[in-house]
A = this chain, B = another copy of it.
């Protein structure tokens, strides 16, 4: 399984945001939605073996399970509506028990540390880092977990957590990419690895 954990520092934790202003009042939820898009969508289908964790302001995590999603569309507004629907169930998320929202979408009352720990128990944390190995030279692990940040850098505390959890460091390229673009490049790395004539 491929997992992507995306930290939304300014993301909403209540459902009272408008779908018309994702990039403003909703704390750059547009970017988080594009991360879900990049993680789960193929041209004519869904990547079944993908899990995305959107961490909202270190308080809640919305989990998208590729293989179980139904009727999700790739536009920001549709994905944001799922996040909003998840937050409408926030009172149902207690401890490690998620609130069930819609097929393939769950809401957890978990911040960065707990979500990272949960994800890391099922794979190898790969840090995208400017000092990491170039992707082209690196061998991907079987069950990678990529951790990304929104438009803000990782906080010091997040960077420390990540350095502790990460078993690998790779670099996607000489340019610094948005999180959603980095997810696409990571998928392509995994898709093409080992193929000499795909």
Contact = CB atoms under 8 A, between A and B. Distances in A.
A127 interface: no
A76 B74 contact: no
Interface stretch (A58-66, A106-114, A117-125, A180-188): A180-188
A41 interface: yes
A191 B173 contact: yes
Given A41-B178, A43-B178, A134-B197, A77 B20 contact: yes
A181 B132 CA distance: 23
A19 B18 CA distance: 13
A178 B34 CA distance: 13
Contact of A184 (B134, B174, B185): B185
A174 B191 CA distance: 7
Given A20-B20, A185-B188, A192-B136, A74 B178 contact: yes
A162 to B, nearest CB: 17
Interface in A166-195: 171-178, 181, 184-185, 187-188, 191-192, 195
A55 B57 CA distance: 39
A73 interface: yes
A25 interface: no
Contact of A174 (B75, B176, B195): B195
Contacts of A196: 134
Contacts of A78: 23
Contact of A75 (B22, B74, B176, B184): B22
Contacts of A13: none
12 contacts: A20-B77, A23-B74, A23-B78, A42-B178, A75-B76, A134-B195, A135-B192, A136-B192, A173-B188, A177-B184, A181-B187, A184-B184
